[in-house]
Structure 1
Amino acid sequence: MSELPAAALPDGPVLGADEAGKGPVIGPMVAAAIRTDPAVLPDDVDDSKRLSPARRASIATSLRSDPAIDVGFGIVEVEEIDDPETDMNSLTVAAQVRALAAIACEGDLAVVDAGDVIAERFGDRVTAGLAEREITVETIAEHGADDTYPIVSAASVLAKVERDRRVGAIAAEYTGFGDVGSGYPSDPNTREFLQTYVEEHGAVPACARRSWSTCADLLDAAAQSDLSSF
């Protein structure tokens, strides 16, 4: 794995990758990758967390419509997240590899936001995952790369907007159970949505990550409520 300051990236196309939705209890994790010359990126591209939803959407539209920019996505669905044989670090690697593989060219430089406490290990795993697909890249993995490298900031915006679009589709599917909210366990709207669904069906909805403690707690509470009715 390489280490290179953002300002010292080579001229020409570079890959960037980041993901959104690692922590929510509802919906998939979405990784996005972008391949372009960083010089063509919008001047106001920034870490998605510092942009308003409207600005993120505008930047994402601009990125996806620019013929000089290639975009790829890697989706990890709820069923895969709930698989007891895997873990979130491995799934984050898998998501970024899927997104990068959609657009990477042999010999590219990839800059990725590290989803592991050991950034170098994460980068090595991304490199290895692409090598398994017969794609050779050089990888820079850093914590906070979405704050340091505009190419990764752009990927973070794409990932967030796509993740939000998918949560919006989930909300449209479950209109009878209240506001889905952001999908994060800390969101009271999300918790109320899940509680309403569990109270009616005795199970969490298919869009929820059953392995998350939020779901387990709601199911336990429902079970105790059923027992107390006898």
Structure 2
Amino acid sequence: MTRPASDSPPLFDLDTKPDFSIERKRLAAGEGPICGLDEAGRGPLAGPVVAAAVILDEGSIPEGLDDSKKLTAKRREALYDVIMKQAHAIAIASVAAAGIDDHNILRASLEAMRRAASLLSVTPGHALVDGRDVPPGLACPATALVKGDSRSVSIAAASIVAKVTRDRMMSRCCTVHPNYGFGAHMGYGTRRHLEAIESGGAVARIHRMSFAPLKA
């Protein structure tokens, strides 16, 4: 006897791995090439928000792609190198702290993704965007996917490229402002970071003055 499907919501999210199935459907519909869009750095008190756009080569998809937050720093770095070698096209863009303060972090994140997509050397036919919002002004149709970096390998690849790029930027900031520890916390509001702000003040053009406690 066939068991009826349950209409009860799951009690917890299953730990799914991204694949190429969403991209494959779009490609079959003649909407390729497909690019994944994601950003890194929405939550920190310092540094830019960085976005990446990635068009994967269907015949050479790196193994182990996943949401960058689920990967160790070492694994992200390794996958970053593979993505850079095997992807069909990659572009990276950012919006600095001042731009985040002038608008807001959501608008800045969407703008960074729009810029990244516009910089691709290959014009995408469709974009898959992590999150609930499609960046305004994209030159192609797009679909927003909640938890997209756990569903689409194109978005997962973009999340890795964006995260590694931003971490490297914050590590370089640390060489100029070592007392703040940017290379350790990447701009997030850790105790060490907050204590450094308390003692040394905010760093111009690096800290986001619209974020609490800096705003206060």
Query: What's the TM-score bracket when you normalise by the shorter of the two chains?
Result: 0.7 to 0.9
Q: CA deviation at 1:49?
A: 0.5
Q: Count residues with an aligned counterpart.
A: 190
Give the conservation status (yes or no) of the 8 Å contact 2:181–2:192: yes
Alignment of 1:75-224 (within 5 A): 75-83=94-102, 86-103=103-120, 105-106=122-123, 108-114=125-131, 119=132, 122-123=133-134, 126=135, 128-130=136-138, 135=139, 137-175=140-178, 177-180=179-182, 181-185=185-189, 187-198=190-201, 204-206=202-204, 207-217=206-216
Cα distance change, pair 160–190 in 1 and its aligned pair in 2 (3 A) = same
Give the conservation status (yes or no) of the 8 Å contact 1:14–1:37: no
Between the aligned partners of 2:174 and 2:123, the Cα distance in structure 1 is: 40
Name stretches of at least 5 consecutive residues in structure 2 with no aligned partner.
1-20
- Code of the aligned partner of 2:52: A
Give the conservation status (yes or no) of the 8 Å contact 1:15–1:104: no
Identity of aligned residues (%): 28
SS at match of 1:62: helix
Between the aligned partners of 2:101 and 2:56, the Cα distance in structure 1 is: 34
Give the conservation status (yes or no) of the 8 Å contact 2:89–2:121: no
- Structure with the larger helix share: 1
Give the conservation status (yes or no) of the 8 Å contact 1:182–1:190: no
- Code of the aligned partner of 2:170: V
Cα distance change, pair 65–91 in 1 and its aligned pair in 2 (3 A) = same
Name stretches of at least 5 consecutive residues in structure 1 with no aligned partner.
199-203, 218-230
Q: Over the residues paired in the alignment, what is the CA RMSD in angstroms?
A: 2.0
Alignment of 1:38-57 (within 5 A): 38-57=58-77
Q: CA deviation at 1:139?
A: 0.8
Q: CA deviation at 1:7?
A: 5.7
Q: CA deviation at 1:27?
A: 0.4
User: Among 56, 60, 70, which residue is 2:89 paired with?
Assistant: 70
Cα distance change, pair 70–214 in 1 and its aligned pair in 2 (3 A) = same
Give the conservation status (yes or no) of the 8 Å contact 1:13–1:37: no
- Code of the aligned partner of 2:119: A
SS at match of 1:163: helix
Q: CA deviation at 1:74?
A: 1.5
1:25 aligns with 2:45: yes
